[in-house]
Structure formats: C-alpha cells, structure tokens
Amino acid sequence: MLRINNHLRQIAYACAFSIVIYLVVFSLILKLPLTTGLTHKYYLKKLAYAAGLESPKIVLFAGSNGLFSHRCDIMAGILAMPCVNASLHAGLSIDIALMGLRNYLKKGDIVLLPLEYDQYTQSRIRMMHNVETNNYIVTYQPEWLVWFPPERILRALFSFDVEYFSSALTETLLSLAGVERRYTMDTLTANGDMKGNTSQKGIEYREFISGLPQPVPDERVFTQQTFDGEREVAKFLSWAETEGITVIGMLPTIFDDKPIPTAVIDKLRKLFTDNNQRFLVIPGNAQYQRNCFYDTHYHLNEECQIRHSASVAHHLQPLLKEILSARVPT
C-alpha cells in the first residue's frame, strides 16, 4: 500500500515540479530576442528620446500603422515642434498599449492617435487572452503586472505554450548566430519612425498586398455597438484631459478600394469629442492605392509614408495653433 501511494505522491511531485520549472524558465530565462525583445528595445529607445524632449511635444501613437505610415522627423520639421513616434505594433492589446503610452506623456503634450480600426473593436476577452501582450509583460515588463487583475496575472504567467518555447529557442539561436530580422534598431529614425521601406524594396510584397482584403470595419457592426477597445480609448482620453494632455484622433492608412463609411468616421469623431478631445480627418481619409503600401495593410512604403506625414502635418498646423493659443500660460 505504501509503495502504491508513493507512486501517486511521485505523480503529484512531478506535476508540481513541472509547474515550478515552467514558471522559472518562461519568466526568467527564455525570451524572444528578435521579435518581442526588439519591440522592447524600441520601447526603451523611444522612451529615452521622449524623456529628453521639452513639452509640449507631439507623441504619435498607434500600432504598426503609426510606426510604418508616419514620420515624426518630417512632422517635427513642418510643425517646428519636437515629436516622438511611440508606436510599437498592433499585436499588443489596446489597454496595455495605452497604459505604456502614459509613460511618455507630460502636461501640455499633444498625442496623435491614428489607431487601426481593429484596435477599437477589441473585446475584453481578447485583451485578457492576448498571448503576445501577456508574454511581453512577463518577460520584459513584469512590473506592469501590478496593473492586472488576479485572473490576468495568472493568464500572463501561463501564456507560454510549446510554440512559444520553439520560437524562443529559434530566436535565441539565430540571435547568437548574429542573424537579424528585416527590422532592427538601425531601421528606426531617432524620432522612433520606421525608415528605409522604399517602394523598390516593396516589390517582392506586391503579389501578397494585391491579395489582402481591405481592413475596413463593417459599418453596421462597428456603429451599432460599443466595443471594449473603444471604452479603453475613452478611458485614456478622459485621463489625458485630467492631466492637461490634448489627444487628436486620426484615421489609419488603408487601401482605397472602397471608401470608409461616413458613419464609421462619425462614430470615431464622437468618441474623441465626447471626451473633450479632437479628431482630424485629412482629405482622402488616409486611404491610398495599394501600390503605396509596403509589406501589408497599414504599412505605407517610405515615399508614401513621407507624403502622408507631410499632409498630416500641414492639416494639423491650424489645429495645433488653435490648441496652443487656447491654453492659458502657467
């Protein structure tokens, strides 16, 4: 009987030991140096750059649309204001991304927010289950776990599966071998923009781009319900107002196959204005021909990225003037 019970006890020990090893290995040892690690390096670089800027400064933020389709260096020149591109990528859940954005901001700053359409439509469940975000926080930003409710802390700690394990091994080996991804620290401008994605380099993605669907939200679905992603944006807008930060919502860059429904734009505008913030729509609704895109939707090639940024800056000028002149000097 004793021997038999020993087997059951050994099974219990093996299971418990397995959990302990899992937590240690994934929280402290294994990381994704070439993907999530690079995102973290981008975050630190951009944060350091922002810390050195005088306020009021422009902070541009979105998912990869912000990173690939906008150039702070161009906008800073036209607007004669410091500008940092704080965008990382759309894989991060919107609640955490906006939490991270707060670290860049000081009173008087102006945030440009050309968020991708699917950022607004994220559900609470999707945010909670966002493996990429959960992985990122445990491995690179464990202090952010304090923002999480207990269930999400558990989800974050147990967000690592065998695929992650194989990716981590692959990336670690490639990183040790000196292999770099298409995007590195060198493909980032000092302001935090992605650079060098010329239309010439983008030729090899043409076929892929031509087959992609246009990521325009369904008008009926988008306008008839309030999504958790919107609520997170509203929460951020409200916080920004109390901190003396102005937020200007904008449309993300997408294909021009079909026009964006007016009702969608109106709903987004209302989200910002209801929270005493602004919304800027440039002519053309930030829609461009497919040959303006680099490797996927939301990513303009460099020529169009520069053109779009200049257009945004020119249309932003009068609005900025109005905002800055309305502020009471302290």
Figure out which of the listed residues 161, 218, 243, 322 binds another protein, where binding follows CB under 8 A. Answer: 161
Figure out which of the listed residues 295, 310, 315, 319 binds another protein, where binding follows CB under 8 A. Answer: 295
Of residues 111 and 156, the one with the C-beta less far from another protein: 156
Asked if 296 interacts with another protein (CB under 8 A), we say yes
Which helix (H) or strand (E) segment holds residue 249: the answer is strand 246-250
Asked if 163 interacts with another protein (CB under 8 A), we say yes
Of residues 2 and 328, the one with the C-beta less far from another protein: 2
57, 303, 88: which is closest to 197 by C-alpha? 303
Q: Which residues contact 296 (CB under 8 A, 6 or more apart)?
A: 205, 208, 209, 212
In whole angstroms, how close is the CB of 126 to another protein at the nearest point? Answer: 12
Figure out which of the listed residues 107, 181, 270, 321 binds another protein, where binding follows CB under 8 A. Answer: 181
The DSSP line for 188-234 is B-TTS-B----TTGGGGGHHHHHTSPP-PPPHHHHHHS--HHHHHHH
In whole angstroms, how close is the CB of 294 to another protein at the nearest point? Answer: 9
Q: d(Cα 181, Cα 165) in Å, to the nearest integer?
A: 19
Figure out which of the listed residues 149, 211, 283, 329 binds another protein, where binding follows CB under 8 A. Answer: 211
For residues 258, 263, 269, 273, the Cα torsion angle rounded to the nearest 10 degrees is 180
Q: d(Cα 70, Cα 194) in Å, to the nearest integer?
A: 8
- Binding window for another protein (CB under 8 A); candidates: 103-111, 156-164, 266-274, 277-285: 156-164
Q: d(Cα 176, Cα 281) in Å, to the nearest integer?
A: 46
Of residues 174 and 281, the one with the C-beta less far from another protein: 174
In whole angstroms, how close is the CB of 318 to another protein at the nearest point? Answer: 39
* Main-chain phi, psi angles of 238, to 5 degrees: -65, -40
Residues in 239-278 at the binding interface with another protein, rule: CB under 8 A? none
In Å, how far are 12, 13, 19, 24 from 9, measured between CA atoms? 5, 6, 16, 23
Residues in 10-29 at the binding interface with another protein, rule: CB under 8 A? 10-11, 14-15, 17-19, 21-22
Figure out which of the listed residues 5, 242, 325, 330 binds another protein, where binding follows CB under 8 A. Answer: 5
The side-by-side arrangement of strands in the sheet containing 246-250 is 83-85, 58-60, 110-113, 246-250, 278-280
Figure out which of the listed residues 28, 29, 51, 154 binds another protein, where binding follows CB under 8 A. Answer: 154
Asked if 166 interacts with another protein (CB under 8 A), we say yes
In whole angstroms, how close is the CB of 166 to another protein at the nearest point? Answer: 5
Asked if 167 interacts with another protein (CB under 8 A), we say yes
Helices (H), the chain: 2-24, 36-51, 64-69, 72-79, 94-102, 117-120, 124-128, 131-140, 150-157, 162-176, 206-210, 219-224, 228-242, 262-274, 302-326
Of residues 35 and 305, the one with the C-beta less far from another protein: 35
Residues that bind another protein (CB under 8 A): 1, 4-5, 7-8, 10-11, 14-15, 17-19, 21-22, 34-35, 129, 154-155, 158-163, 166-167, 169-171, 174, 179, 181-182, 202, 204-205, 207-208, 211, 295-296
